[in-house]
Structure 1
Amino acid sequence: MGKIEKILKELTVEHTHLLKKIKEFQERLENDFSDELIDEILKFIDEELEEHARKEEEDLVDAIEEADANFDSGALIFGHQTLVDGIEDFKTVVEEYRKGKSSQKDVVKYADRVFTLIKDHFIEEEHFLFPDILKLDLERFE
C-alpha cells in the first residue's frame, strides 16, 4: 500500500468516526440541549476536527506533493475554508447565546449548518477528491 493510499484510508476511517459523533451531537441537540453539550461540540471542533483537517492539509498535501508537485491541492484547502467560516459563525452564535443575545434555537441551527457542511465536505472528498488523488499514488504499482 502506498503512502497516499494509506493516508486516504486513515482519513476515510476518521470520517466515519467523526460522522458518528456528529449524529450523536445532533440527536442530543434535539433532545438534551445543555451548556455542557455546547462545550463538548466546541471541544470536538477545536480538537478532533482540527486534527483531522491538519492531517489532510499537512500530511496528505505533503504526500501528494512528493508524488506530483504539479497537483493542485488548493481544492482541499478551499473546502476547509468554507468549514472554517461556518465554524466561526457557530462560535459567534454560541458567544451571543451565552450573553443572552441569541436563542437555543439559533445555536442548534448553526450547529446543524456546521454539521451539514462537514458531511458535504466528507462526501466531496471521498467521491471526488480522494479518487483523483489515488491516481497519483504511483507507489501502489511497485
Structure 2
Amino acid sequence: MGKIERILKELTVEHTEFLNKIKNFQEKLENDFSEELLEEILEFIEKDIEEHARKEEEDLVDAIEEADKNFDSDALIFGHQTLNDAVDDLKSVIDEFKIGKTSQKEVVKYAERLFTLIKDHFIEEEHFLFPDILKLELERFE
C-alpha cells in the first residue's frame, strides 16, 4: 500500500467515525439540548475536525506533491475554508445563545448547517477528490 493510499484509507475511516458522532450530536440536539452538549460539539470540531483537516492539508498534500508536483491541491483547501466559515458562524451563535441573545432553535439551525456541510464535504472527497488522487499514485507506475 502506497503512502497516499494509506493516508486516504485513514481519512476515510475518520469520515465514518465522524459521521457517527455527528448523527449522535444531531439526536442530542433534538432530544437532550444543553450547554454541555454545545461544548462537546465545539470540542469535536476544534480537536477532531481540525486535526483531520490538518492531515488533509499537510500530510496528504505533501504525499501528493511527492507523486505529482503539478496536482492542484487548492480544491482540498477551498472546501475547508467553507467549513471554517460555518464553524465561525456556529461559534458566534453559541456565544449569543449563552448570553440570551438568540434561541436554542437558532443554535440547532447553525449546527445542522455545519453538519450538512461536513457530510457533503466528505462525500465530495470520497467520491471525486480521493479517487482522482489515487489515480495519481497508480499512474506513476504505468
Relative to the length of structure 1, the TM-score reads 0.97
Partner-residue secondary structure (3-state), 2:136: coil
Structure 1 unaligned blocks of 5 or more:
none
Q: In the TM superposition, what are the counterparts of 1:37-76 in structure 2 within 5 Å?
A: 37-76=37-76
Higher relative contact order (Cα pairs below 8 Å, separated by 6+ residues): 1
Give the partner amino acid of 1:69: K
- SS of structure 2 residue aligned to 1:45: helix
**Residues 1:21 and 2:1 are matched in the alignment:** no
Which runs of at least 4 in structure 1 moved beyond 4 Å after TM superposition?
139-142
Counterpart CA distance in 1 for 2:39 and 2:141 is: 46
CA distance in 2 between counterparts of 1:113 and 1:75 reads: 21
Distance 1:50 1:93, change over 3 A: same
Q: CA RMSD in A?
A: 1.4
What is the rounded CA distance, in whole Å, between the counterparts of 2:20 and 2:120 in structure 1?
A: 14
State whether structure 2 residue 98 is matched by structure 1 residue 98: yes
Give unpaired runs (5+ residues) of structure 2: none
Give the conservation status (yes or no) of the 8 Å contact 2:90–2:111: yes
- Measured after TM superposition, the shift of residue 138 of structure 1 is 3.8
Partner residue, 1:80: 80
Q: Is the 8 A contact 2:67 2:140 kept in 1?
A: no
- Pairing of 1:96-135 with structure 2 (within 5 A): 96-135=96-135
Give the counterpart letter for 1:84 in structure 2.
Answer: N
Deviation at 1:99, TM superposition (A): 1.1
Instruction: State the TM-score, normalized to the length of structure 2.
Output: 0.97
Q: Secondary structure at the match of 1:69?
A: coil
**Whole-Å Cα distance in 2 between the matches of residues 51 and 141 of structure 1?**
31
Q: Distance in 2 between matches of 1:51 and 1:139?
A: 29
CA distance in 2, matches of 1:137, 1:99: 51
Percent same amino acid at aligned positions?
77
Corresponding pairs, count = 142
**Equivalent-residue separation in structure 1 for 2:82 and 2:68 (angstroms):** 25
Distance in 1, Cα, partners of 2:97 & 2:79:
28
CA offset at residue 137 of structure 1? Answer: 1.0
Deviations 1:84-121 (A, max 9, x none): 00110000000100111010000000000000000000
CA distance in 2: counterparts of 1:5 and 1:136, whole angstroms: 10
Moved more, 130-139 or 68-77: 130-139
